[in-house]
Amino acid sequence: MMDLTGALQIAASELTLAVGAMVLLMLGAFMGEKSARLISILSVGLLIGASAVAATSPLGVAFDGAFVSDRLAVFAKVAIFLCSAVAIVLADGWMHRQRIARFELPILIVLASVGMAMMASSGDLISLYVGIELHSLALYVLAAFHRDDLKASEAGLKYFVLGALSSGLLLYGASLVYGFTGSMRFDDIAAVASADPGPGLIFGLVFLICGLAFKVSAAPFHMWTPDVYEGAPTPVVALFATAPKLAAMVLIARALDQGFGGIHDQWAQVLVLISLISFAVGAFGGLVQRDLQRLLAYSSIANIGYALLGLTAGTTAGVQAMLMFMTLYVIDQFGFFAILLSLSRGGRPIRRIADLAGLKKDRPLTAIALTVLSLSVLGMPPFSGFWGKYYVFGAAADAGYWQVAAAGLVASVVAAFYYLRIIKLMWFDPAPEGVEATDRAPIEAKTVALASAAFAFPLVIVGLTWLEPLTRIAATGYGAG
């Protein structure tokens, strides 16, 4: 059995963040609200440092199998920590512009990152639940962080109430799995599931998947997503749309493959159903939206369906496809939300889709960036979103799920309408009379937006040459398929 020193070395990145968050909390408590910017800068540095620690820490299994550090976990942690760092950069500028700068926000993001890292390294049902709750508790507070905003308070309350419901489903499923297998560890569960997968175990697995589906806002467990996306502060929504979804998708991949890989045919049916419903809800629900953040919420529902489709294959190629898709997806999402943070007309943030009319006249560079990102998310070749869907659909078709892949292609065509509508408004419709989007764009938001658009095309062509081998190593580095 591994000694405590070795176990702590394996969990070094999580310990770094946890201890760092406590130190930053004490610093903020002594210095007061004037420390908000300093705490943000230190938090970004802490997350970047933790990503370096995660990449260099030894691999292995610690705490009696509850914590697993392998290549999949390392890939996920580095991506999660960097996403959280970008979210803090966007949030810091937003807080100061809104005159609500508080040192607690970056610390909450750091604590959420600890939970997300725990999710990526979960080796049993207890660590799975602890990771989910640790990151969820921080996200509940972040959703309602702008406490003077009625919509933000409503978003936080809805997220908390529905999150408690999903936790109940998750715990009920975990208790059934434990009751019918006699163990919380994924490898022990896999042994029982392969030998004698009784109806009780299958029933618990379904509840487990339903609880996890809530965390990634997959339909029909998406009911919180549009309201939270609309009401929560925009930089917080940028975090919601990226790092937590990546962490939850890696957790789903690990739990299903390592714990229930022997009964792939059983859980694949559930994922296929969830994917199909997510395609339909995301594609058709987005057609009637007028608020940009609600539109992005429905877009995220559809895109999570695509990512789950990769996992449905139950193969190493499927896990790699999911990692490719989610990595490219989160880069696009940061670009979208950075553009929302950089746009305003007459001092008022642009939130309605109609407000984008005539943007090419007032902000041609922003219009180009938003056009590139829109074409990427709808899957137009050769933009980055196309390559993500190419890998996902290819993995599903190779595993025999070509009908579901075809349904995903149809949903992509439907969803293309609302992205093309955005492009049409920017380039062909006149701007509102007397109002121009000439307010100065925040430098941090503008930088993230242009960098994301540049990666979507043309830098993605170069990026794929290192991203593809990295995701392949991560997918094969934990025993998938």
Q: What is the mean pLDDT of the chain?
A: 89
Could you give the C-alpha distances from 328 to 33, 34, 232, in angstroms and in order? 36, 36, 24
Handedness of CA 352, 365, 246, 317 (dihedral sign): positive
Model confidence at 266, pLDDT cuts 50, 70, 90, reads: confident
Domain map of the chain by residue range?
Answer: 4-476
pLDDT digits (tens, 9 = 90+) for 196-248: 788 889 999 999 999 999 988 898 888 888 888 888 888 999 999 999 999 99
- The model's pLDDT over 8-39, given as tens digits with 9 standing for 90+, comes to 899 999 999 999 999 999 999 898 878 888 99
pLDDT-derived band at 119, boundaries 50, 70, 90: very high
Give the number of other Cβ atoms within 10 Å of residue 433's Cβ. Answer: 5
Per-residue pLDDT, 477? 67
Q: Does residue 193 have a pLDDT over 60?
A: yes
Task: Answer whether residue 436 shows pLDDT above 70.
Answer: no
DSSP code of 291?
B
* Tokens describing residue 422: 């955005």
**Confidence check: pLDDT of 1 > 60:** no
The DSSP string of 31-82 is HGGGGHHHHHHHHHHHHHHHHHHHHHSPPEEETTTTEEE-HHHHHHHHHHHH
**97-101, 133-137, 375-379: range with lowest mean pLDDT:** 97-101
Residue 440: the pLDDT is: 65
352 has which bridge partners? 291
pLDDT of residue 479: 45
Longest dimension (CA), the chain: 72
The pLDDT value recorded for residue 478 is: 61
> What 8-state DSSP symbol labels residue 262?
G
Strand-pairing partners, residue 122, are 67
Q: Write the DSSP assignment of 150-172 as a string of letters.
A: HHHHHHHHHHHHHHHHHHHHHHH
Q: What percentage of the chain has pLDDT greater than the value 90?
A: 52
pLDDT in tens, 40-62: 999 999 999 999 999 998 988 88
Look at residues 234, 239, 323, 309 and name the one whose alpha carbon lies nearest to residue 274: 309
Residues with Cβ < 8 Å from 451, sequence gap 6 or more? 335
Q: How many CA atoms lie within 13 A of 73 on its CB side?
A: 31
Cis geometry, peptide bond prior to residue 469 (ω within 30 degrees of 0):
no
Q: In this structure, are strands 344-345 and 67-69 parallel, antiparallel, or unpaired?
A: unpaired
Q: Tens of pLDDT along 293-346?
A: 899 999 999 999 999 999 998 889 999 999 999 999 999 999 999 998 888 766
| pLDDT, tens digit (0-9, with 9 covering 90-100), for 374-426 | 999 988 889 999 999 999 999 999 988 899 999 999 998 888 888 898 999 88
- Per-residue pLDDT, 462: 92
Q: What is the pLDDT of residues 441-459, one digit of tens each?
A: 688 888 999 999 999 998 9
